[in-house]
Structure 1
Amino acid sequence: MRREHGTPRPDWEKTIESQGLAYHRAAHPSGLFRPYWDESVHYVFSLDEVEALEEQVGELHEMCLSAAEHVVATGRFADFAIPEWAWEEVARSWERRDPHLYARFDLRYDGTGPARLLEYNADTPTSLVESSVVQWFWLQDVHPGADQWNSVHERLIERWRELRLPPGPTHFAFTNVDETGEEAMTVAYLQETAEQGGLRTMAIAMEDIGWDALNRRFVDVEQRPIRSAFKLYPWEWMLADEFGRHAVRHGTWVEPLWKTLLSNKALLAVLWELFPGHPNLLPAYLDGPRELTSYIAKPLLGREGASMRIVTPEGAQETPGSYGQEGYVFQGFEALPEFEGQRPVLGAWVVADEAAGLGIRETTGLITDDTSSFVPHLIA
C-alpha cells in the first residue's frame, strides 16, 4: 500500500459531475486547501493486499451477522437504544431475513497488518457514487492497464435481480433535508442500478410519503400504494417519527429493520464480546473504557465523526456535535496511519453478503469527517 501522485485530468470537475458526482462542491466545506474529489493523488495496492482485505471483509460481515443473531436471541435491544415497542418487530425482521442490499465497513489499514474495524455503515452508507462509478472511470482514463477493487456496480445490479420484492414499482426515497444533493444523487444512482436489474421504480421524497389509515398502507403523492421502498433515511429517524409504528409493520423497506443492529456502534462491543482478541477488531465496551488507556468514545448513532472524544495518556480532544443522548461505545484507539501527512480510512463495500470494492477518504486529522477528501485507488 502506498500513496502516489498524478496529474488531474483537464476539466476533471465537469467530468466527475457528468458521472454523478454533482455534489462534490456543496458537500465539502468551503475554504479548504483541497477539493472533495482529489485525483492528484491515489493509493496503490498489491493484488495480495486486496485479496487479503477481501477475505477479511467477508469474515467481518459474517461476524456481524452472528452478532445480530446473538442480540435477537438474547433480547439485547436496549443496548442499541432501540425503543421497546420496536423490539419484537426488529426480531421478526431478522427472523424473516428481510432483504438487504449493501453496506460499508470503515477500516484502519496501513498495509503491514490486518485491517481493524472502526465501524459498520450498514443502513444508509454514502460515498457510493464516487466509489462505484467515478473512480472506475478515472482508472480507465488515467491508468487503463491497471485494475481496481471495484465490482460494486455489477453486484448491485445482480442483487436487485435476486431480491423478491412485492409486485408494483419500488419507490426510491430521499429526504428534502439534504441540502448538498449527495443523498438525492446516491438514491438516483441506486434507482438506475435497480432499473438495470429489471425493476420498475419511482422516485419520492420521504416527506411526501403518506399513510392511508383506512387501508393501512403507505402511499405516494398520487395515492398509489408503496409496497416496497429503498430509503436513504436512517431507521433511528423513522422510529422517532409518528409513522414509525406503521413503518415497522407495513411495507418492505430496503434497508430492512434488522439493519438497526448493524448500523449501531453498540455492535462494536458485541463483536468484541463474541470474538475477543480477533485480529480485525479493536476492544470495545458499552459500560466504560475499562482497562483501555487510549480509547475513543463514539455515540451509538453518531454521523460524520461528530460528538466523539479521543482520550490518550497525552490528553483528550473532542469533535463538536449533538449526538450522544442514546449512549456511547468505548473503543480502543489506534491512530489512523499517516501517508505524506494524510490519514486514510478504507471504506470496504459489501453488496448482499459479498465484499465488493473499496473507496478511500483521507484527512490530516485523527477523525474522518466532512472535511476529508475522496481519493481513488488502483491495483498494481
Structure 2
Amino acid sequence: MKSSASARTFGELLGYAPGNVAVYSSDYDSADEHTYPNRSAYRSYLDGIYMGYKWQCVEFARRWMYVNYGYIFDDIAMAYDIFELRSVREVSSQTRLPLQAYRNGAKQHPTVGSLLIWEEGGEFEETGHVAIVVEVHPDKIRLAEQNVAHQTWPEGQNWCRELKAKITQDGDYWIECSYSDATILGWMTQTADSQYAEPTPALNNDLLVINAATVADTGQVNKSWLNIANDDEAAYVDMMQGHKLTSNNADQHRYFTISHTAQHTLEHATNELHGLFMHATDYVLQHPELLQKFNLPEVVLTKIRQSWDNRLNQLITSRFDFALTPAGLKVYEYNCDSASCYMESGKVQGKWAKHFGVKHGYDAGQTLFKDLVKAWRKSEVTGIVHILQDDDAEEHYHALFMKHAIEAAGFECKVIIGLQQLSWDASGNIIDAAGDTLNYVWKTWSWETALDQIRQECEAEQRQSASFEPQWQAGATPRLVDVLLRKNIMVFEPLWTLIPSNKAILPVLWSLFPNHKFLLHSAFELNDELIQSGYVVKPIVGRCGANIQLIDQQQQLIEKTSGHFASQDQIYQQLFALPKVADYFVQICSFTAAGKYAGAGVRVDKSMIINGHSDCMALRISDDSHFIAKE
C-alpha cells in the first residue's frame, strides 16, 4: 500500500493486536538495505514455522492465529485465495480443523478472530487483502492488520481501522468497504458449524474427466492458417513441415476439453503449488544436508544462494506437469528453469481452433502471451534483452515467440544462435557482433547444461570448493557457462530455478506438506507405502521424460525410457498414471507468468511417459454441463 508523510519506517513497531501480537510497518520504500540485504531477510519465521513475507497482511494473519490459537492456514498465492480454504492446521498435533467461509451479508456474523478477506482489484490490486477481526458491533467492526497504513497506533488501542457495518431486518451482516474501488468477499471463521457458510459440495468426479473431440472435416488441412510473415510462426511451420499443431496427420481435427471446474482447480493448484515449491526451495537452501541430494557443483552453491536472495520474484515463465483424472489432480514435477510448449499453448492452439472452426468452449492458453508481456514489464530489465538458443528448430520458434513478448513489453530484443557471434571485449564484457553488451539474457538452454561444463572444468583442474568465476580473454569466444554466470549479466530464468526444477525437491515437498491433495508421495528411498501403490523411478535431473521407469503394484516394470541421465541419483514417486483418452495418454500442462497461472495446454503420447517426441494438441475449456452424466 502507499506510504504517507507520517508513515513509520519499514519494520518499525506500530502497535499490538489482541494476544500481544506485534504489528509492523510495511512501508517497503523505507526498508533499510543493510537490515534487509536480500529476499531471504524478508521471510518471517516464528518457532521455526514460516509465517509469510515481512510485513505483509498474510504474514500477520497467520502469525496472529498461531500465537492466539496454535493453528495456521496453508500457504496461498494471494490473500484472496484464503477464501477458498476450508481448514486450518493445528501445529502441535498436525490435525485439521474446519474453516468456514461466509459471504459479506451472511446471517452468520463475524466473530473475534475471524479473517476478513478482500477480493483482488482496486486498492488491493492483484493480491486482495486479509485482516483480523478484533471487535464486532452492530454498527461497526474493528480490525488489526498489516500493509494498509503504516502509522503508529494510538496508545492503548489494539486495533488500527474501523469499518461501518449494518444488520438487516433478516439478520444479514453487511460490512462497508472504506475503499470505493475494493470489494470485501466476506469472512472466515474456525468452526464446525457450517450453517449459512459458503457451500463446499463434494467435487463431481465427472468434472475432472478429459474428453476428446473432433471438428468436422471441411478441408481445413488443405489451407494454410499460420501467418508465416511472423518470424515465430514461420519457424514453427518449418519445424512442423506444414501448418499443423500435431505431427500425426490423422489427428489434425482432434482436440481435448476440460470443464470450467477442472480449469479452476488447475489454476488454483498452479498458484498454490508455486508457493509450496518456493517454500521448499528456501527450506532446502537452509539445510545443507538436503542440498547435497541435489547433486549441484559446490562451486556454484554460493551463486545459487545469491540468486535466491536477490532474484526471488524475477521468474518470467515456468510449467507444471499434471495428471488430471476423476481421482484428482496431481502434479508430477515443476519445470521452473527451461520450460517448453508455451508457443503451442499460447498461440498455435488458438489459431488452430479459429481456422478449424471450433466453437466449443474457449482456448485454454488465450491469456498466456499477454501475461508473459506483463511479466517482462515487471522485470528489472532496462536495456536490450539477448535471447540465447542452440541451433535447434524447436528452440528457434520458442525463442522468436518470446522475442515478440519482450518487444511487446517495450524492450529491444536480439536472438543469438549459438555462441560464435559473441566475444569478450577489452573490458571483460561479453558483446554481440554489433558491439552491444550482454546485460540481460533469456535462454532456451537449461542451467544443467552450464553445470555440466563446470563439472568437467572442476574435474580437470581438481577444484571442488572454490567459487567459479568465468575466465576471459579479449577477442575470444565465451563459453555458455561464462555467459550465464557472468556477474554483470542478469539471466532469465534465474539460477535459483535449478532447485525447484530438480526432482530432489519432490521428497522435500512431501516431507513438508504430507498428504497434500495436489502432491504425490515421493521419497529418496523406496518404502513400503510406495511399493504397495506402485511407483515411478526418476532421475533427479532429466529432460523430455528420459530414464524413467514405471513399476506397478506387483513390482512389474510397466514401461521405461532411455536417455542420458542414467548416472543421476534417483527419487521414487507414487505411481499415478495419466488418463488414457482416445488412445492417447494425456498430460495437462499449466504455465505461469511471474509465478502466477497464465494458461494451459496438453501433451499426448501412445506411451504412458510423455517425452521429447510427444505431441501437443489443442485444449479447450467447456461448460460443466458438457461433462455431467445425464440420467
Q: One fold, TM greater than 0.5?
A: yes
Match of 1:5 among 210, 214, 230: 214
Show the counterpart of 2:515: 277
State the aligned residue count: 370
Q: Displacement of 1:249 after TM fit? A: 4.4
The code of the aligned residue for 1:238 comes to A
Aligned CA distance change for structure 1 residues 213 and 221 (closer, same or farther; 3 Å): closer
The answer on 1:108 being equivalent to 2:307 is no
Taking structure 1 as reference, are residues 103 and 223 closer, same or farther at Cα in structure 2, changes over 3 Å only? same
Q: 1:225 aligns with which of 437, 444, 453?
A: 437
Over residues 246-272 of structure 1, what are the superposed CA-to-partner deviations in whole Å (9 max), with x where a residue is unaligned? 633421001110111121111211111
Decide whether aligned partners of structure 1 residues 100 and 7 sit closer, same or farther in structure 2, where only a CA change above 3 A counts. same
Give runs of aligned pairs for residues 238-253 of structure 1, distance below 5 A. 238-241=450-453, 243=479, 244=481, 247-250=484-487, 251-253=489-491
Aligned to 1:161: 377
**Distance (Å, rounded) in 2 between the aligned partners of 1:368 and 1:96:** 34
Equivalences for residues 33-112 of structure 1 within 5 A: 34-35=248-249, 38-75=251-288, 76-97=290-311, 99-110=314-325, 112=326
Residues 149 and 356, structure 1, Cα contact 8 Å, conserved in 2: no
Separation in structure 2 between the aligned mates of residue 363 and residue 240 of structure 1, nearest angstrom: 30
Contact 1:344 1:362 in 2 (8 A): yes
Q: 2:540 aligns with which of 297, 300, 307?
A: 300
| 2:381 equivalent to 1:170 | no
CA distance in 2 between counterparts of 1:206 and 1:371 reads 23
State the 1:370 CA deviation.
3.3
SS, match of residue 45 in structure 1? strand
- Matching residue of 2:416: 204
Tell me what 2:344 maps to: 130
Distance (whole Å) between structure 2 residues aligned to residue 119 and residue 272 of structure 1: 12
| Kept in 2: contact 1:23–1:182 (CA 8 A) | no
Residue equivalent to 2:368: 152
| Deviation of 1:320 (Å) | 1.6
C-alpha distance in 2 between matches for 1:33 and 1:130: 12
Per mean C-alpha deviation after superposition, the further-off stretch among 302-311 and 7-16 is 7-16
Please, which moves more after superposition, 331-340 or 8-17?
8-17
Structure-2 change in CA distance of 1:372 and 1:247 (3 Å): closer
Query: Gaps (5+ residues) in structure 2?
Result: 1-209, 455-478, 623-631
Q: Note if contact 1:147-1:378 (Cα within 8 Å) is conserved in structure 2.
A: yes
Per-residue CA deviations over 1:78-134 (Å, capped at 9, x if unaligned) read 211110010111011001025220001010002x24311111111111111110001
* Higher gyration radius (CA): 2
1:235 and 2:453 matched: no
Aligned amino acid, residue 122 of structure 1: C
**Alignment equivalent of 1:363, drawn from 585, 594, 605:** 605
The amino acid of 2:612's aligned partner reads D
Aligned to 2:404: 192
What SS is found at the alignment partner of 1:224?
coil
Higher relative contact order (CA 8 A, sep 6+): 1
Cα deviation code 1:261-298 (max 9, x no counterpart):
12111121111111111111111112345531211111
Greater mean deviation of Cα atoms: 305-314 or 293-302? 305-314
Over 3 Å counting, the alpha-carbon distance change for 1:186 and 1:239 in structure 2 is same
- Inter-partner Cα distance in structure 1 for 2:291 and 2:435: 35
Q: TM-score, normalised by structure 1?
A: 0.90
Mapped contact 2:385–2:411 kept (Cα < 8 A):
yes
1:182 maps to 394
Change (3 A) 1:17 1:120: farther
Structure 1 residues 122 and 328, CA gap change in structure 2 (3 angstroms) = same
* Residue 348 (structure 1) aligns with: 590
Q: Label 1:246 to 1:364 Cα distance change in 2 as closer, same or farther (>3 A).
A: closer
1:143 aligns to 2:358 (yes or no): yes
Matched, 1:255 2:493: yes
Q: Is residue 315 of structure 1 aligned with residue 553 of structure 2?
A: no
Structure 1's 156 and 175: CA in aligned 2 closer, same or farther, altered over 3 A?
Answer: same
In the alignment, residue 198 of structure 1 is paired with which amino acid?
G
> Is the 8 Å Cα contact of residues 209 and 218 (structure 1) preserved in structure 2?
no
Matches of 1:279 and 1:156 in 2, distance apart? 28
> For the Cα contact (< 8 Å) 2:425–2:431, is it kept in 1?
no
Give, in whole Å, the separation in 2 of the partners of 1:245 and 1:195.
26
Give runs of ≥4 in structure 1 deviating > 6 Å: none
Contact kept, 8 Å, 2:548 with 2:560, in 1: the verdict is: yes
Which residue identity lines up with residue 196 of structure 1 in the other structure? A
Q: Provide the rounded CA distance (Å) in 1 between the counterparts of 2:368 and 2:491.
A: 21
TM-score normalised by length of structure 2: 0.55
Contact 2:360 2:620 in 1 (8 A): no
Cα 1:16/1:93, change in 2 over 3 Å: same
Deviation at residue 189 of structure 1 after TM alignment: 0.7
Equivalent residues of 2:387, 2:414 under 8 A apart: yes
Per-residue deviation, 1:197: 0.7
Q: How far did residue 303 of structure 1 move?
A: 1.3
Question: Which one-letter code corresponds to 2:214 in the other structure?
Answer: H
